[in-house]
Amino acid sequence: MTDFKYHPTPEYRFFLHDPEGDGMRYYRTAEERNADAADAIQCYLDDCWAEEVVNVVAGEITHHAVARNVELRPKREDFESDDEHEQALSEGGFSGHDGDYSCNYVLAPITDPGEPI
């Protein structure tokens, strides 16, 4: 079994997508990716040839989506009253049940890790 990751990094930028297998995986080299691709394709040879084999794709990642303009959700303990906290949530675009932060996403080179969340 070749070394792979489930998220791209500058070091692991070669990908294999096998929707009927392990989904998206990232490799250090094209050779490692190609070896796993050959194995993935062979898995479609059960009793007969499965037409889904055409959904197996490979490539090299150059860009990925990263977080920008990250704003953390205001914490209740930072305010003197529930009303002040609710107002800060509203002004920040948060509702009572939103997540811990809001942000925008942009497509950036694989070397750009984005803003920390």
Q: How far is CA 93 from CA 87, 88, 111, 112, in A?
A: 10, 9, 30, 27
* pLDDT attached to residue 97: 65
pLDDT band with cut points at 50, 70 and 90 for residue 117: confident
Give the Cβ contact number of residue 25 at 10 Å. Answer: 24
pTM of the model: 0.73
51-102 pLDDT, tens digit per residue, is 899 999 999 999 999 999 998 888 888 889 988 888 888 877 777 667 788 8
pLDDT for the residue numbered 105: 95
Residue type, 35: A
